[in-house]
Amino acid sequence: MGLKGKALWLGRLAGSVLLVGLMPGFAGLWSAQARARASWSRSVAGTQAQILRVPVRSFTVENANMAEALLALRSSDVDHIIIGFERMPHLPGEKGGPISVALTGGTVGQIVQRLCEADPRYEYEVLEGAMVVVRPQNATTDPSDLLNLEIQTYTIDAKVGAGEAIEHVWEDAPELRSLLRRKLEERAKRTGESSGFPGSIMSGNMPPPRFTLHLHNVTVRQILDAISLKSVDMFRQGPDYGPNGMPLKMAPTGWEYDFTVDPNAPNGLGGYPKWTPF
C-alpha cells in the first residue's frame, strides 16, 4: 500500500453518518441471533488464527479508551490489521477506560486479549482469520441492539468504497431504513417536530472499483462484517499500482458502530447511532 493509499484511508476515518437512535426495549421489533460466545477467542485455531499471529513491533497506550486503543493497533498496520468495533452504548462525553498497555514484540492476539482483560466489558471474535471484531459482552443477544436487526436482502452494486458502504448501511439495508424512518415519523406525529438524516462526509479523490455484495437473511452486524471482509478480498487481488504509478486499491476497511445515549434526542428515540469506517 503506497503513501497515497494510506493517506486516503486515514482521511476516510473522518467521514461519518449521524443518524437518529433507538430507545431500549425494542425487543419485539427484531430477533437477535442467540449465539453463545466466549469472552475471548482463546480456542481459535488453524486459519482462523491468522490475524491473531500478525506481529506488532511495539504497542503502547496509556489511559486510553477501547476505541483509542484499537485505533492505535489498527494504525500500526492498516494493510493487515482489520478491526470491527462496537462501542458500549454511552452518554455524551463518556469515553470509558482507562486502558494502559505496553507490549514490545507482541502479536495482534496478545494485544487484543490484554485490551479486553483491561476493559472486561468487551469480548472479541475472529472472522475468517482476517478480521478481529471487538464488541460489548453479550451484544449479539441484546434485542435492543440495532446491529441485531435482521435484514432479509442486502444488495450493493456500485462504484463506492467499503467505507461508503459502511456509512450508508442504514440506507441500503431495507428493514433498518424502514425502522429508522418509522420511528422518526412516530416522534414527529407526537411532537409536531421533524428531523432528518444527515448525509455522510465523503473524502478522497481516487475513484473506487465496483463494490458488489449480495446477502440474504443476515443481521446488520453480519452486513458490516461482510463489507469489511469483501474489502480484504479486493485488497488481496490485482496489482497495487497502475502504469502511471498511482495506487489501484486502498487498505482494507474495518467498521465502527457507536451509539450515544440521549433521552432527548431530536426524534425522541433515545440516542444516536453512527456507522463509520475504522
Residue 193: Cβ-neighbour burial (10 angstroms; 0-12, 13-18, 19+): exposed
This prediction's pTM: 0.77
In degrees, rounded to 5, the angle at the alpha carbon of residue 138 between the alpha carbons of residues 88 and 43 is: 110
Q: Which residues pair with 258 in a beta bridge?
A: 274
Q: Per the structure block, which three cell numbers stand in for 141? A: 443477544
End-of-domain residue from the set 139, 165, 200: 139
Q: Are residues 54 and 152 in the same domain?
A: no
Q: Are residues 219 and 251 in the same domain?
A: yes
Q: Are residues 248 and 167 in the same domain?
A: yes
Q: Are residues 113 and 65 in the same domain?
A: yes
- pLDDT given at position 94: 87
- pLDDT given at position 161: 87
Residue 278 lies in a domain: no
The distance between the two most distant Cα atoms of the chain, rounded to a whole number of Å, is 59
d(CA 197, CA 172): 14
Q: Which residues pair with 56 in a beta bridge?
A: 106
How does pLDDT run along the chain (278 residues), one tens digit per residue?
Answer: 443 344 444 444 433 333 333 333 333 333 333 333 333 333 334 455 789 999 999 999 999 999 999 999 999 999 999 999 999 999 988 888 799 999 999 999 999 999 999 999 999 999 999 999 999 999 999 998 999 999 999 999 988 889 999 999 999 999 998 988 887 777 667 766 655 544 333 334 456 678 899 999 999 999 999 999 999 988 888 666 666 766 666 789 999 999 999 887 775 567 889 999 99
Q: Are residues 146 and 253 in the same domain?
A: yes
Q: Are residues 21 and 74 in the same domain?
A: no
Q: Are residues 110 and 131 in the same domain?
A: yes
Q: What b/e sequence results for 9-21 when a residue is b if at least 16 CB atoms lie within 10 Å of its CB, and e otherwise?
A: beebbebbbbbbb
Q: What total number of domains does the chain contain?
A: 2
Q: Are residues 79 and 212 in the same domain?
A: no
CATH number reported for the structural domain that contains residue 44 in this entry: 3.55.50.10
The parent domain of residue 20 ranges over 1-32+142-264
Q: Are residues 106 and 195 in the same domain?
A: no
Q: Are residues 253 and 146 in the same domain?
A: yes
End-of-domain residue from the set 139, 168, 197: 139
End-of-domain residue from the set 114, 139, 164: 139
d(CA 180, CA 269): 9
Chain centroid offset of residue 61 CA: 21
Q: Are residues 130 and 207 in the same domain?
A: no
